[in-house]
Amino acid sequence: MDLTRVHKRAFYVGGGYKYAMSGEGVAYLAVPPGCELRPIDTGWFASFETLSGKPGDRVPYARDAFRFWGATFDPTGTYRFNAAMDWLVSTGTSIEAVHHHSIAMQKHFLDGLQRLALPRLNASHLVPPPEVRRGNFLAFDVDDAEDIHKRITAQKVAIDRRDRRLRFGFGVYHDAAMVARLVDAVGRALK
């Protein structure tokens, strides 16, 4: 990202999480030079250089962007992110290719569910609906999500549940054979 045209007047915030093959805490904030805004809430690292001094009437923040710093930093997620991106580059794999692969695995899964004809888990329950662009997971909105989740996890399949929504994620590390095993496990769980 080239910020040279706007860096003197714009804040730039970003980060990653599991969908970007990184971990918690992988985030960044670019602060315009000369900015003297003070955060409402921040962590104790925001004034690290003043920790040994006498407390004042006002919370002492660093004069630079460190005033937005939170707490101690665990770089593990950043190392993981860098390793994952290096691996993708070494294999010539683009983010678009990863997404395309995920969508193909989703199609295998949905085709398998259609063959099973499960009334409790089918494309009519997808959020958003099948024709809408989506990320690398499928979310099903169902009345008995808790029961379905228990049944599927009893088959040693890890999926997310958020209240009524069951989420099946598909990554670059999944292949059609794995998706076929997933369909079989879901079929056993919901017969």
- Cβ atoms < 10 Å from Cβ of 101: 18
In a domain, 70, yes or no: yes
SS3 110: helix
Instruction: Provide the domain limits for residue 73.
Output: 12-91
Do residues 125 and 185 both lie within one domain? yes
Cα separation values, 53 from 40, 47, 56, 152, Å? 21, 10, 9, 56
In this structure, are 85 and 119 located in the same domain? no
Looking at the structure, do residues 115 and 76 belong to the same domain, yes or no? no
d(CA 141, CA 123): 10
Long-range residue pairs from 115-124, CB within 8 A, at least 24 positions apart, any chain: 115/183, 116/183, 116/186, 116/187, 116/190, 118/186, 118/187, 118/190, 120/144, 120/148, 120/190, 121/148, 121/166, 121/186, 121/190
What residue type is 75 in one-letter code?
Answer: P
Report d(CA 13, CA 146) in Å as an integer: 36
The pLDDT tens digits of the residues spanning 139-187 come to 999 999 999 999 999 999 999 999 999 999 998 889 999 999 999 999 9
Same domain, 80 and 126: no
DSSP string, 57-105: SS----SSGGGG--S---THHHHHHHHHHHHHHHHT--HHHHHHHHHHH
65 and 110 share one domain: no
Considering only CA atoms, which of 113, 86, 108 is closest in space to residue 176?
A: 108
Task: Tell me, yes or no, whether 5 lies in a domain.
Answer: no
Q: Which residue has the tokens 């093959």?
A: 21
Low-confidence stretches of the chain (pLDDT < 70) are 19
- pLDDT score recorded for residue 38: 83
pLDDT computed for residue 19 by the predictor: 67
Residues 166 and 181 in one domain: yes
Domain count, the chain: 2
